[in-house]
Structure 1
């Protein structure tokens, strides 16, 4: 019945609106913003094949810079051409009709208005008999186009307004953090946030290609094969990693500070190093809480166009601070990882899987795309290895936590999905790599925590564990630390992992719009989804 409403409501709405004036050309020009939404929707269908324009899609418009946008536009030009062919002539005809005063007869307009109102009322009544399988309900403002798009646009504007007020709303927040244990040696902790890295292409997670030649041989490394993200969009997933917010309590993100502030309160010097483009999201707000900030993609300004840098360019900066700063240190590294265009994420010397020259997303060059993507994972492996080596060389008490923000689609099945941030996630966007590395000195200083980490390696985990695990690893205590979410704690609990929906509501990840292809992969990969563990 919901599918019937998807047809009857917009049809009734349009004939009603177009009949309000005898000059339909003028009405059509007045409704041009609606054409813009239609165009956006067609591009979305081209990208993902389903779903309405999401709240996150609107926010992506204002958190994506020219460089990222140009990479995407190169691959959606067919959709752009279709949009132009549909709507430019429509607008031109409307302008001509308006100028020539082409009028509709009054009797016809009256019939159309009555018919439109009738269809709208009938559609509203039918919503009470329909159901959305993902949300277990069906409403006009959330499930029926174009009402849901307009609602999402308003929701996005409200979220943007709240986030802009974050510096003030979080000003007086404190974690009341303190450090309980003080080893004799300096302590250094690193939280690395990867980009668009899916676990299925990591050799450490069973991938047939050797994409992790260094990490797979690194002593002290514990890899968690059953890990998922709580969001498939960067502007939400990264803040969830860097804060106590989760899918279950997302609203606290508007009033609480980040993990950087907690470490600072505990006496650490904090650093935020980034190879990501500033996007005016919570990630940028959190970065300002660090004692030292460095972004290698910009000169400190808000540039619309930035230059490409490999993640390895962060390494000399890390070494500089390791050598020059005394006392305990806490680093957050926000890398560019495997963000499309994959070919630009690694030096030529890492072109191991060939050919890898594909810059266009198409089924015909799927293997080239996969080769380039795998090469980007290979480079990530090298980068993380070098970072661990730098920490190891200090001979201090050091540890590192790595998590990707989300995964990526690579034309994996008959749906031909690619990239990420789709309104409905896929298995490939959810399943991510997470690992912890501990130096020998750390394991000696914190044997119980090291043992707990090893014991928890087979347990299902999500990105909401990052905040609590890293604080617990450093023996930092705060009322906001939840031991049952810390992988460094024997109190860690197995629970149903939640996904943050487009309207910021928690939903069991297995019910987040996953299709049979996704659920089949979840079964094959033994991803925990509610059955007895």
Structure 2
């Protein structure tokens, strides 16, 4: 077969069969529910095939053509599955998430439906491709033919877009999610964008932050140092917390504690890779996204102020946030009762915690200790794995990682069980902190990194672009617990905090609120973003 025919067949297959999520989304648009919409869809398919064909002609050489087609088809097949199954789209943050996924998270995504989809869309066509001999063309003639094909593909692309331009521009402007469904051009664009980041962002330079940081004496002049636990929730939805008005009893333990649950808190991103570095930054979401260089973060400032800082991770890492502080990884331990199936429940982070703290420098511990606990929390899609059997209260729950195969009630039950277990974990953290009161001033701040879709509008998981993501992927729980001694020493009124439970908050407030809570003085601190300041007296 002549290489040109292989390119044509591969381009048509990708533009049609591998773009089912795109065609499904276009069929939902009311403005395309007519013959004109059908003509637009046909023209759009031709445009996609032309664009893919143009790219493939650049790689249409003897040793590269079949591998290039295989790569395109495999990327399209995997992309099609995840877009169909979970309603996600593929953009730069999503590709970043994929590249940072560890083997355990990958296993959670494997299922029979994925294998069947890839088999039909990729493996069978590629088997045919590999068994098809390609006509050998002298390299000079192939160069001429490739150039001709490239020009023809570009001309076809331009001509088709001109014919459908009015509808094309309207759809792209009014339904921005569509541009992230064009398969596999979405993945290729995201990879190119990711590769260009070093040219947009100086990732080799880490700018210092808070070099003037120092601990101010607490107003109450206590004799004990502060002990603050920062719990980083994973994929928790604010709306599924009973403390925030949810109709189910997902917070029986916290309901008996003197906590403040803020109901109007919003994330910096819709994925861990986006939110975690952003919430520990001093920049705020918009400035963080447009930054030209990386800065040190909250943990660096706390450590520079003289505090002992420890990061405990029960998930997939800190995304660079904890690189310069003491760390402990509990995710791969093998403690009976706390670990099973190759991962550990979140309460493992309390195991041997006293010994971990004792290993920190004594001169820093004397000034205060900050512990960050990064939960496994509600990490999907295998929610059922995150919860010990004793906390599977809501039944029947979805016990599959193919969420679309379960009734939505089962998906919600599995997710709510993770919130119930998070309630148990946070209560256990508070219980441990109370036991430390003779030696320290304990407090806890719990904030989730982002939310989650549980089947609303056929969307699952998270990671949609922030501008089009539903609120459930951005609306996060934010819970504080201050011991009476901590509140008294810091002159923080918990009664005042309870009057501000509906005050707007976001991850932009996190950096400055932690500094304010610990009375760390630095030029990087912005009092207007400190959520505790309105309730703190001098």
When the two structures are superposed, what TM-score results if normalisation uses the length of structure 1?
A: 0.77
Structure 1 residues 339 and 134: CA distance shift in structure 2, 3 A: farther
Unaligned runs of 5+ in 1: 300-304, 493-533
1:467 aligned residue (511, 514, 517): 511
Cα RMSD of the aligned pairs, angstroms, is: 4.0
Give deviations 1:453-509, integer Å, cap 9, x for gaps.
3443211211221111111111112222222222112399xxxxxxxxxxxxxxxxx
Equivalent of 2:394 in 348, 353, 363: 353
2:188 counterpart residue number = 150
- CA pair 94-489 structure 1, distance change in 2 beyond 3 A: same
Moved more, 435-444 or 364-373: 364-373
Say which SS state the counterpart of residue 250 (structure 2) adopts. Answer: coil
For the residue of structure 2 that corresponds to 1:287, the secondary structure is: coil
Give matches, 1:68-107, under 5 Å: 68-74=105-111, 77-99=112-134
Q: Structure 2 CA distance, aligned partners of 1:320 and 1:419?
A: 36
Equivalent residue for 1:188, pick from 227, 231, 249: 227
Find out whether 1:330 has 2:359 as its counterpart: no
2: CA distance between counterparts of 1:120 and 1:347?
54
Which residue is equivalent to 1:224? 262
Which of the numbers 254, 270, 273 marks the counterpart of 1:215? 254
Pair 1:60-2:97 in alignment: yes
In 2, the alpha carbon distance for the partners of 1:109 and 1:284 equals 43
- Asked if structure 2 preserves the Cα contact closer than 8 Å seen for 1:25 and 1:98, the reply is no
**Partner residue in 1 for 2:462:** 420
| 1:495 alignment partner in structure 2 | none
The aligned runs of 1:274-289 (5 Å cut-off) are 274-278=313-317, 283-289=318-324
Please list, as runs of the form range in 1=range in 2, the aligned pairs for 1:41-56 lying within 5 A after superposition.
41-49=79-87, 51=89, 53-56=90-93
SS at match of 1:273: strand
Change (3 A) 1:245 1:171: closer
Cα deviation 1:18-68 (Å, max 9, x = unaligned): 7899999984554332223322321232233464x2112222222111111
**For 2:324 and 2:445, how far apart are their aligned partners in 1?**
20
Alpha-carbon shift at residue 259 of structure 1 (Å): 1.3
Q: Which moved more, 1:314-323 or 1:185-194?
A: 314-323
Cα separation, partners in 2 of 1:173 and 1:36, compared to 1, 3 Å: same
2:208 paired with 1:169: no
Gaps of 5+ in 2: 1-36, 139-144, 334-339
Match of 1:249 in 2: 287
Q: What TM-score does the superposition give when structure 2 sets the normalisation length?
A: 0.76
1:177-219 CA-to-partner distances (Å, cap 9, x unmatched) read 1222333221111211011111121111111111101111212
Determine which of 118, 131, 154 is the counterpart of 1:117.
154
Q: Is the 8 A contact 2:209 2:295 kept in 1?
A: yes
Residue 236 of structure 1: how far off its partner (Å): 1.4
- Matched residues in 2 for 1:375 and 1:139: separation? 31
Query: Residue 381 of structure 1 is aligned with which of 398, 406, 423?
Result: 423
Structure 1 distance, partners of 2:431, 2:296, is 31
Shift of 1:246: 2.7
Query: Does the CA contact (< 8 Å) of 2:208 and 2:296 recur in 1?
Result: no
CA pair 21-176 structure 1, distance change in 2 beyond 3 A: closer
Q: Residues of 2 paired with 1:385 and 1:22: CA distance? A: 61
* In structure 1, distance between residues paired with 2:172 and 2:60: 42
- 61, 71, 82: which one aligns with 1:33: 71
Q: CA deviation at 1:114?
A: 6.7
Distance 2:293 2:535 in 1: 28
SS in 2 for 1:200: helix
Distance 1:465 1:134, change over 3 A: farther
Report whether the alignment pairs 1:397 with 2:441: yes
Cα 1:470–1:409 shift into 2, 3 Å:
same
1:352 CA displacement? 2.0
Q: Give the structure 2 partner of residue 527 of structure 1.
A: none
User: Cα gap change, 1:47/1:484 in structure 2, threshold over 3 Å: closer, same or farther?
Assistant: farther
Q: Alignment length, in residue pairs?
A: 473
**Cα distance, 1:3–1:441 mapped onto 2, change above 3 Å:** farther
Partners of 2:301 and 2:150 in 1: how far apart? 60
